[in-house]
Amino acid sequence: MSVKKSKDDLEDVSLLKFALVAQLKRTYQSSDVDVLLFAGADGKIYASYIPESIGPKIFELTNLITHNLLHVSQQLAMGLKQSVIEYEFGTVIFSSVGRGALLISLFTGKADLSENMHKIEIAKHVMQHIFEQRPMTAEQLATYPEDVAEELRILSKIVFNEMYTQSSEYKKNMQILADIKEKITGVMGRGEVEQVLAMAFNEIASSPKWMTEDLWPLLVEMIINDQIRPLHGDYVAEICEAEWIPDIKHKLESFV
């Protein structure tokens, strides 16, 4: 009997995959590793980070990994935590990530492994935390060394910010922001828009992506009364108030 995946299941899988790749990318950027793979003991690749331009040595190493993966996996299953194998084309580090998963780090050039091993060790703990979907509570983070806990905190912020930009709430706020910019431009000119908005957002202690349906009309009202009215008079301000606020409220209610 097949199990039908729900929308929430698919979103969870997408979030997990994004978090894994994001951590691999961070490890690549902070070390001399050329390619990073997160794989199962059966050879299935769960996530990877491969830069756009890679040399031919990577393909040589990849072929060698394929042949040795089963042997290394068997050793790791028996308790081996890490395996460093040097080939003619470079070096590969196999790191155990919990049960049945491996972090594979490929180096094609000469690198100071002692300098990179610590970064790989941090990545290994972070990948295991993500893969096992452990909670990001203070109690859980306290069980790790501080450098691992800090990396988890940074990754959590990256994932949250990135995934939030894909949400309907974020898209709604960006559309409302664009509409308000057009309204301000029509009255005060394009050169004043950013300054007007910066002052208004500062006044309500918020930013565009964190705005709520209650805050948007308040922001518009503040712009009209504090910045348009003193410069363009009551008549223009009252027209803006009569047209802009109902329009913004309508768009907030009708956004899908």
Q: How many domains does the chain have?
A: 2
Do 209 and 157 have their domain in common?
no
Do 153 and 190 have their domain in common?
no
Q: How many helices (H) and strands (E) does the chain have?
A: 9, 5
One-letter amino acid of 195: Q
185 neighbors 193 (Cβ within 8 angstroms): yes
pTM: 0.62
Do 33 and 81 have their domain in common?
yes
Task: Give the model's pLDDT for residue 13.
Answer: 62
Q: Specify the long-range contacts of residues 170-177, CB closer than 8 Å, at least 24 apart.
A: 170/209, 172/252, 172/255, 173/208, 173/209, 173/210, 173/211, 174/208, 174/209, 175/251, 175/255, 176/211, 176/216, 176/248, 176/251, 176/252, 177/208, 177/211
Distance in angstroms (rounded) separating the CA atoms of residues 248 and 240:
11
Report which of 173, 176, 186, 168 is spatially closest to residue 224, judged by C-alpha positions: 186
pLDDT in tens, 147-176: 999 999 999 888 887 777 777 788 888 999
Report, in this order, helix, strand and coil percent for the chain, each rounded to 5. Answer: 65, 10, 25
Task: Give the model's pLDDT for residue 14.
Answer: 67
Distance in angstroms (rounded) separating the CA atoms of residues 21 and 16:
9
Give backbone dihedrals phi and psi of 105, rounded to 5 degrees, phi first. -110, 125
Distance in angstroms (rounded) separating the CA atoms of residues 241 and 238:
5
Task: Give the model's pLDDT for residue 110.
Answer: 76
Q: Could you say which of 148, 164, 180 is where a domain stops?
A: 164
Q: Could you say which of 139, 164, 189 is where a domain stops?
A: 164
Q: Which domain holds residue 174?
A: 168-254
Report which of 8, 186, 35, 38 is spatially closest to residue 102, judged by C-alpha positions: 38
Do 176 and 145 have their domain in common?
no
Residue 85, Cβ density class (10 Å: 0-12 exposed, 13-18 middle, ≥19 buried): middle
Do 34 and 99 have their domain in common?
yes
Do 148 and 36 have their domain in common?
yes
Task: Give the model's pLDDT for residue 112.
Answer: 77
Do 52 and 151 have their domain in common?
yes
Do 81 and 206 have their domain in common?
no
Do 122 and 42 have their domain in common?
yes
Q: Could you say which of 102, 136, 164 is where a domain stops?
A: 164
Task: Give the model's pLDDT for residue 143.
Answer: 93
DSSP, collapsed to helix, strand or coil, labels residue 158 as helix
Distance in angstroms (rounded) separating the CA atoms of residues 145 and 151:
10
pLDDT in tens, the chain (256 residues): 333 333 333 345 667 888 899 999 999 999 999 889 998 877 788 888 888 777 666 666 776 776 677 777 777 777 778 888 887 778 888 888 877 788 999 888 777 788 899 999 999 999 999 888 888 888 889 999 999 999 999 998 888 877 777 777 888 889 999 999 999 999 998 888 999 999 999 888 888 888 888 899 999 999 999 999 999 999 999 999 999 999 999 988 887 5
Do 32 and 66 have their domain in common?
yes
